[in-house]
Amino acid sequence: MSPRPAPEELVPWALEVLEIPVGNSPPALSVVAGDASARRYFRLDSGAARYVLAEAPPATEKNEAFVSIAALLRGAGVKVPAVLGVDFDRGFLLLEDLGDQLLLPQLDAGSVDERYHQAFGVLAQMAAVDCAQTGLADYDRALLSEELSRFPVWFVKELLGYTLPAAEQALLDNLSARLIDSALEQPRVLVHRDFHSRNLMLTGENELAVIDFQDAVVGPITYDLVSLLRDCYVHWPAAQVRAWALAYRDLLRSQELVGDIDQGQFLRWFDWMGLQRHIKVLGTFARLYLRDGKSAYLDDLPLVIHYVLEITQHYAAQEPVFADFNAWFSARLSPLIAQQPWSRQS
């Protein structure tokens, strides 16, 4: 593997793209906080304007998808960073600087309702995209299954050190099948796949801007909604979450983006989709720590576990496989989780 370029190596390329002559005083370059990927971000300050430089290794990052989906979202009216220049061979991208204000630190009891309804408007814009014309991959059974398979491998075995007997693996397989069937019966829309408060930014014009969208697919209509409302980084009361979910359903109906889906059906889709996502996230966060050395995600595991147990308990009376999973998790995994440093600190 070739060494990654030093940040300063991106500057001459960016200045060429911007048609700014290289002077005696080079532009200021500073690090911008990254994400769960291998991408690195830097802020370039020319004195007259600021830009974001991304160094995204072509071997691992979906740079072509990022550029094409940015154009797709912008065409749908969604605020995304403008792509000012790109070198696919080297993995360099020059982007509009949207600032530093993520949505997450701006959320509190007084602001969250307004901000989430603002986000619903963005989701509705995405739902209105004609998916047949996008060329996006389908969020199909194989992808949903792969995501769920991260849980027994990375969370249960690698992080907790527990080896599943065949009967317990069969329980996970049965639950996974139910969750996947529920996902696949939903209306299909453009899905961001990580639509939450760390991937939404507030611009100086008080717009919500969307970032980190290169993994977008065509998938279940509740996926991005539950990613937002049962965010892995912030928690809201269950009754409020369900009220928001139904408010979004009503928005979709008012814009004729869905038919007459009754409340019970929509909430079940929403809850079960969230369960699929959060079981996946347990495996993904464990993998980010164990494989990629990103230990910060361990601190977010307790909230994700809360979501998993909350939903499996909620449906336990009607769905035996949910009851069995909840009982198994509590009996087998919870004692192991209690021994983890990240659990004791929560």
- Predicted local confidence at residue 5, as pLDDT: 77
What DSSP line would sit under 46-74, residue for residue?
Answer: -SS-EEEEEE--TTTS-HHHHHHHHHHHH
In the beta sheet, which residues pair with residue 138? 218
183-234: pLDDT as tens digits: 999 999 999 999 999 999 999 899 999 999 999 999 999 999 999 999 999 9
**Domains contained in the chain, number:** 2
- Predicted local confidence at residue 165, as pLDDT: 98
Q: What residues make up the domain containing 320?
A: 104-344
Q: Residue 38 belongs to a domain with what CATH number?
A: 3.30.200.20
Among the three residues 48, 73, 96, which one is the final residue of a domain in this structure? Answer: 96
33 and 170, same domain (yes or no): no
Is the four-CA dihedral 155, 157, 159, 162 of positive or negative sign? positive
Helix (H) or strand (E) holding 113: helix 112-127
295-323: pLDDT as tens digits: 999 999 999 999 999 999 999 999 999 99
- Predicted local confidence at residue 133, as pLDDT: 80
- Predicted local confidence at residue 46, as pLDDT: 79
Length of the chain counted residue by residue: 346
255 and 328, same domain (yes or no): yes
174 and 211, same domain (yes or no): yes
Q: Which two tokens stand for residue 99?
A: 């600032």
Among the three residues 69, 96, 123, which one is the final residue of a domain in this structure? Answer: 96
158 and 64, same domain (yes or no): no
Q: Which two tokens stand for residue 301?
A: 């595991």
pTM for the whole structure: 0.94
Domain assignment present for residue 155? The answer is yes
12 and 114, same domain (yes or no): no
| Tokens 């996008």 sit on residue | 134
91 and 179, same domain (yes or no): no
Q: Which two tokens stand for residue 100?
A: 């530093």
pLDDT tens track, the chain, 346 positions? 567 777 777 888 888 898 877 665 677 788 887 665 678 999 998 777 899 999 999 988 999 999 999 999 999 999 999 999 999 999 999 999 999 999 999 999 999 999 999 999 999 999 999 998 889 999 999 999 999 999 999 999 999 999 999 999 999 999 999 999 999 999 999 999 999 999 999 998 999 999 999 999 999 999 999 999 999 999 999 999 999 999 999 999 999 999 999 999 999 999 999 999 999 999 999 999 999 999 999 999 999 999 999 999 999 999 999 999 999 999 999 999 999 999 976 5
157 and 67, same domain (yes or no): no
What CA–CA distance (Å, rounded) separates 139 from 123? 17
Among the three residues 71, 96, 121, which one is the final residue of a domain in this structure? Answer: 96
Domain assignment present for residue 276? The answer is yes
The vertex-182 CA angle with 180 and 187, nearest 5°, equals: 110
- Predicted local confidence at residue 333, as pLDDT: 99
91 and 145, same domain (yes or no): no
Residues 6+ apart with CB under 8 A from 186: 220, 221, 222, 269, 273
Q: Residue 249 belongs to a domain with what CATH number?
A: 3.90.1200.10
Helix (H) or strand (E) holding 28: strand 28-32
- Predicted local confidence at residue 39, as pLDDT: 85
144 and 82, same domain (yes or no): no
91 and 163, same domain (yes or no): no
